[in-house]
Amino acid sequence: MPSRIREGLQNDDVVLVKWPDGCVAMFPEERWTELTARLLQLPKSNADAREAARRLGASAHTDGIDRQGRITVPQELRDYAGIDKDVFVIGALDHGELWDPATWQQRSEEPDTTDMGEIFARSGI
């Protein structure tokens, strides 16, 4: 775990979950609590909300960061992200993402043809 990410944590507990795009998200405990609270506020009649709650809940794994800055990533999450031995950690504002290094390199080498303004507009920013 990079020290710059550890410094932003209130404690040493993180929650790991399967995340879109084939990576594992790593949420500080307080951010995870916020995310789950937002999900719980959605109507139970909303099929997408139920599916998101199922997928996140089923893959969630809480772990503590040890003195050497390491965490244990369960095999199920490593398999999902294609992580074997090495891992590439990136910051994504309110969470970290764990990537297979080759997957991240391939993704970062793809030509960026989408205008950031378009991305912000579509996502409501």
Q: What is the CATH number of the domain that holds 37?
A: 3.40.1550.20
19: three-class secondary structure by DSSP: strand
Q: What is the pLDDT of residue 10?
A: 58
- DSSP class per residue in 63-96: EE--TTS--PPPHHHHHHHT--S--EEEE-SSSE
| Closest to 1 (Cα-Cα) out of 72, 83, 78 | 72
Cα–Cα distance measured from residue 25 to residue 28, given in angstroms and rounded to the nearest whole number: 10
pLDDT digits (tens, 9 = 90+) for 62-97: 998 888 878 899 999 999 999 999 999 998 888 889
Query: Tens digit of pLDDT for each residue in 44-65?
Result: 898 888 888 898 999 999 998 8
Q: How many domains does the chain have?
A: 1
Separation between Cα atoms, residue 99 and residue 24, nearest integer Å = 7
State the Cα–Cα distance between residues 6 and 69, nearest whole angstrom.
8
The pTM (predicted TM-score) of the whole model is 0.80
Domain region containing 117: 3-123
pLDDT value for 6: 53
Burial environment of residue 22 by CB neighbours within 10 A (0 to 12, 13 to 18, 19 or more): middle
